């Protein structure tokens, strides 16, 4: 295999096609023509963080803030289960409060009866909070590192946001026996090919189970400076290259075809699968809240309910010869190697 830097520097169409083909072959070899699904529940957009790139950062006054109730979250998880999604992801802005922590504990205890894989993506928390959520039934946690370059991280966030704390959180999650997911954005202003290659080396060195990556997409009310003048196709290509290079380096991890890919091209998620990804997270949040959870401009499926999303996904994946693994939790192969309690 060429060096990661060489792979990530490819720009010619033939070279890229051949890279995606190789990475997809690797996905077929280890995982087969299958895609795992997780119903995505966007449980709230209240956020204590002020990330310069994010549409729901706390100082964006245009956002109508919402927090789903315990009953709402459970109802959406039940709906996900009725669609055959055996795993859900509960994601929200970052809230470090005892009442929110307790609400999530209650949700997790109720979800135990549904026998679902539950991933949380609720930001940085104290070790004790992660522990309580793990004991209440969460099995996976997603916390993107955003960039592997600490200096670049500090330019994308206010001074009180700490890259090191994120790394510590990931290590804590690992110790607590979560399946750990992380990832970065690509096509960020000031980011180099070396930074992206370092991100893949970071995933390898931290031995993570799941990876979610996507191109940075500007948001009109987020103040990040120096946005690169890239076309949608060029942003998408960065996302696909990162997926392919990651699959070639880490053949057994779960890699998500992030929704950001679909924001850049109608068939962006399928292109992600054909570049080596194996997980899709169809949105099951009620339509009335979807527009309030816009991290970037152009979020897709704002008006499509979960049922429509499901039939659309079936059709799209069948068209590329892939099948959704309904009724299967889809733990990562890497996790199976480490842990005997993993579930298909």
Interacting stretch for ligand SAH, rule CB under 6 A, among 89-97, 105-113, 147-155, 307-315? 89-97
Residue 59: beta bridge partners? none
* CB nearer ligand SAH, residue 239 or residue 330: 239
* CB nearer ligand SAH, residue 40 or residue 317: 40
Interacting stretch for ligand SAH, rule CB under 6 A, among 91-99, 130-138, 168-176, 234-242? 91-99
Going residue by residue from 271 to 310, which x/- string records binding to ligand SAH, judged by CB under 6 A? ------------------------xx--------------
Interacting stretch for ligand SAH, rule CB under 6 A, among 68-76, 78-86, 212-220, 284-292? 212-220
Q: Given 3-state DSSP classes, what are the helix, strand and coil percentages for the chain, each rounded to the nearest 5?
A: 45, 15, 40
**Stretch (H or E) spanning 246:** helix 232-249
In whole angstroms, the minimum distance from the beta carbon of 124 to ligand SAH comes to 7
CA 82 to chain centre: 22
Question: In whole angstroms, what is the distance from residue 156 CA to residue 226 CA?
Answer: 11
Binding-site member from 72, 94, 191, 195 for ligand SAH (CB under 6 A): 94
Does position 217 bind ligand SAH by CB under 6 A? yes
Beta strand extents in 21-122 (DSSP E only) = 34-37, 39-44, 87-92, 117-121
Nearest to 126 by CA among 73, 172, 72: 172
In whole angstroms, the minimum distance from the beta carbon of 283 to ligand SAH comes to 13
**Cβ within 8 Å of residue 285, ≥6 positions away:** 40, 41, 42, 76, 293
37 close to 269: Cβ distance less than 8 angstroms: no
* CB nearer ligand SAH, residue 219 or residue 241: 219
Provide DSSP, 195-243: HHHHHHHHHHHHT-SEEEEEE----TT---S------HHHHHHHHHHHH
Per the rule left: phi > 0, alpha: psi between -120 and 50, beta: everything else, 305 is beta
* CB nearer ligand SAH, residue 38 or residue 144: 144
Binding-site member from 44, 93, 268, 282 for ligand SAH (CB under 6 A): 93
Q: Count residues contacting ligand SAH (CB under 6 A)? A: 18
Interacting stretch for ligand SAH, rule CB under 6 A, among 36-44, 96-104, 140-148, 312-320? 140-148
67 close to 44: Cβ distance less than 8 angstroms: yes
In whole angstroms, the minimum distance from the beta carbon of 130 to ligand SAH comes to 13
Going residue by residue from 179 to 208, which x/- string records binding to ligand SAH, judged by CB under 6 A? ------x-----------------------
Does position 146 bind ligand SAH by CB under 6 A? yes
Question: In whole angstroms, what is the distance from residue 325 CA to residue 90 CA?
Answer: 20
- By CB under 6 A, the residues from 45 to 64 that bind ligand SAH are 53-54
Residue 44 CB: number of other CB atoms within 10 A?
25
In whole angstroms, the minimum distance from the beta carbon of 288 to ligand SAH comes to 20
Alpha-carbon Rg for the chain in angstroms: 18
Per the rule left: phi > 0, alpha: psi between -120 and 50, beta: everything else, 336 is alpha
Does position 216 bind ligand SAH by CB under 6 A? yes
Interacting stretch for ligand SAH, rule CB under 6 A, among 68-76, 211-219, 235-243, 273-281? 211-219
Interacting stretch for ligand SAH, rule CB under 6 A, among 28-36, 130-138, 150-158, 215-223? 215-223
**Interface residues toward ligand SAH, by CB under 6 A:** 53-54, 91, 93-94, 121, 123, 143-144, 146, 185, 214, 216-217, 219, 260, 295-296
């Amino acid at each position: 295999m060429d060096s990661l830097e060489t792979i990530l520097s490819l720009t010619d169409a033939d070279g890229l096609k051949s890279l995606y083909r190789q990475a997809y072959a690797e996905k077929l070899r280890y995982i087969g023509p299958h895609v795992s699904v997780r119903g995505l529940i966007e449980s709230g957009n209240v956020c204590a963080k002020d990330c310069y790139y994010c549409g729901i950062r706390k100082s964006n006054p245009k956002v109508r803030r919402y927090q789903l109730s315990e009953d709402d979250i459970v109802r959406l998880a039940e709906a996900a289960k009725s669609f055959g999604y055996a795993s859900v992801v509960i994601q929200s802005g970052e809230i470090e409060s005892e009442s929110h922590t307790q609400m999530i504990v209650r949700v997790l205890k109720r979800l135990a009866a549904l026998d679902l894989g539950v991933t949380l993506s609720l930001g940085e928390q104290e070790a004790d909070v992660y522990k309580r959520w793990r004991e209440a039934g969460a099995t996976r946690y997603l916390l993107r590192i955003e960039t592997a370059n600490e200096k670049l991280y500090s330019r994308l966030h206010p001074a009180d946001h700490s890259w090191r704390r994120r790394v510590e959180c990931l290590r804590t999650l690992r110790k607590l026996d979560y399946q750990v997911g992380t990832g970065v954005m690509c096509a960020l202003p000031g980011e180099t090919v070396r930074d992206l290659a370092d991100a893949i080396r970071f995933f390898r060195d931290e031995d993570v189970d799941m990876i979610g990556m996507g191109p940075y997409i500007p948001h009109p009310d987020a103040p990040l400076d120096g946005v690169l003048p890239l076309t949608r196709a060029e942003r998408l290509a960065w996302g696909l290259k990162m997926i392919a290079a990651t699959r070639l380096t880490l053949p057994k991890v779960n890699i998500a075809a992030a929704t950001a890919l679909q924001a850049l091209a109608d068939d962006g998620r399928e292109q992600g699968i054909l570049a080596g990804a194996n997980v899709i997270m169809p949105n099951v949040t009620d339509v009335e809240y979807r527009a309030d959870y816009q991290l970037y401009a152009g979020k897709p499926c704002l008006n499509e309910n979960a049922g429509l999303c499901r039939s659309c996904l079936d059709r799209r994946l069948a068209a590329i010869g892939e099948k959704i693994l309904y009724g299967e939790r889809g733990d990562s192969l890497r996790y199976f190697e480490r842990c005997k309690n993993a579930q298909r």
